[in-house]
Structure 1
């Protein structure tokens, strides 16, 4: 056999064992059934026990479960994936977990605001001023997405040292409407946004409206401000303004959050500024009326949080 078939032939001992088996009348060439090791799944209550451990601590590892039930890793893995059909995923982080009362308040505000957008249409937006604050850094590094580069298949991947935002930052407040930037204000790091600070902002806004948008005062100013506090509502009402967004934690309904600040930060990232406010003002002044109108008009399509019963919506 070795001379004919060369490699891969059975050994001499195997041939002798088969010859004896054939002489005894056993001509079956298939493997005989073996009892083997009992499957872990067949053990009574083991699947329920593994499921109970997972439900008691959803962050537990397979190694911890193996240690708890004194079994090997492979069978436990099979139970989790094949019997329980459970997989481990990362937690979905949200900026704020709202209470049921806050969710209901958010839904009510959303429906009211969307109804105003649809009913009064152009007239509603003519009297609307939106405002919010955001930190701007003298140096804000590029995001991982912004740092992507093209490369050939055989080229080494580009490398870049990880950077952190600078400690120097400014609190930027922007008041704007469908026509453009009305007023900006900045506060250095360490300044607290108090009732007095906000009152000064509203007085400055009043002067800016008188100077450039005096016809709006006759129609009635509607102020759309995310997370408006009680003192902000009172102060604005004393000037004859209508606060449209008293609901807390509602950035999804604030155009500055879902539009303006997103567009503003893109050209600033990855650059170092001695005077970042000048760069901000240059950006705001360079945008035309279409840019601002587009951001305000997006309010018509912000009904997601009502459809999701007040859950936080990511853009």
Structure 2
């Protein structure tokens, strides 16, 4: 055998793999179709259960058919905020089309004028993510343990407004108070002053303002104030956190940064939030708004369904 390989390579052969041979395939098309049909009857079925339904095929062969021949993989269901109706999907597509129409005509200038923001709860204790708990392990060392943690009862609400250059306004709700139209209008007045001081010229060019459809955001008084400011609204469809930059970019990174940290007072939480927000470079915020464009495109491609990434 060694002599044969030496002779073949001297004659110009370069591939060490066996050449394809004619003959009966190891798995027939009929068997593949049978396995797929049984799997499609119940997508939650296991390989062992498929083996019981098709006893003439081994468990290893069924697994090979599903993964190699058919290209299937078993994944968990993804959590979504709401079961979208046809009307919800239509609104999402229309909002995405409107956004892309503006973006396509004015290009980078459109993102330069966007100001977006939202509220989020920040807890005294935020569990670290599964990714954060990963560590290197030697085969002989015991596996690390991670105890179940839940979000702490102690929490404060942070309101953050930002654009592609950085944070414009960050404020925290006093304990015992709730966000209503009056309170939100006070925040918007502060935001306008912050834009005037930090982003000279944007108010003259015209702010494109974005927030979600929370009740204080859509109240008549809030709408009237925004109209008086002369700000143009960026449409946001209902039940769409996947299309809000604060929800898909800023707040997840904030919670990830705070993961595994314990705070004792509101002041400690506030300092940590402010430190994170002001510690990020402009590229961090710029990338958050740039992610918005492909998300809107995917929303249209998926006919209004939720966008994963």
- Is TM > 0.5 for Structure 1 vs Structure 2? yes
Deviations for 1:90-128, whole angstroms, at most 9, x for unmatched residues? 544321111211110110001111221222112212211
- The answer as to whether partners of 1:169 and 1:189 remain within 8 angstroms in 2 is no
Task: Compute the displacement of 1:211 (Å).
Answer: 2.3
Superposed CA RMSD in Å reads 3.3
Q: Rate the CA distance shift 1:188–1:79 in 2: closer, same or farther, 3 A.
A: farther
Q: Determine whether 1:288 maps to 2:278.
A: no
1:78 alignment counterpart: 53
Partner residue, 1:307: 301
Q: Which residue of structure 2 aligns with residue 160 of structure 1? A: 146
Asked if 2 retains the 8 angstrom alpha-carbon contact of 1:114 and 1:299, the reply is no
1:15-36 deviation line (CA, Å, top 9, x unaligned): xxxxxxxxxxxxxxxxxxxxxx
Aligned partner (choices 221, 229, 251) of residue 239 of structure 1: 229
Q: Secondary structure at the match of 2:137?
A: coil
C-alpha displacement of 1:309? 0.8
Aligned length: 251
User: Which residue matches 1:39?
Assistant: none
1:233 Cα deviation (Å)?
3.6
TM-score normalised per structure 1: 0.70
Aligned to 2:260, which of 264, 267, 270? Answer: 270
CA distance in 1, matches of 2:103, 2:241: 17
Partner of 1:212: 198
- Closer, same or farther in 2 for the Cα pair 1:156/1:60, shift >3 Å? closer
Distance 1:99 1:81 in 2: 44
Q: After TM superposition, list the pairs within 5 Å mapping 1:248-263 onto structure 2.
A: 248-263=238-253
Change (3 A) 1:260 1:89: closer
The 1:88–1:257 alpha-carbon spacing in structure 2 relative to 1, beyond 3 Å, is closer
Q: 1:119-146 CA distances to partner (integer Å, 9 max, x unpaired)?
A: 2112212211011111111110112221
Q: Residue 118 of structure 2 contacts residue 160 of structure 2 at CA under 8 Å; is this kept in 1?
A: yes
**Larger CA Rg, structure 1 vs 2:** 1
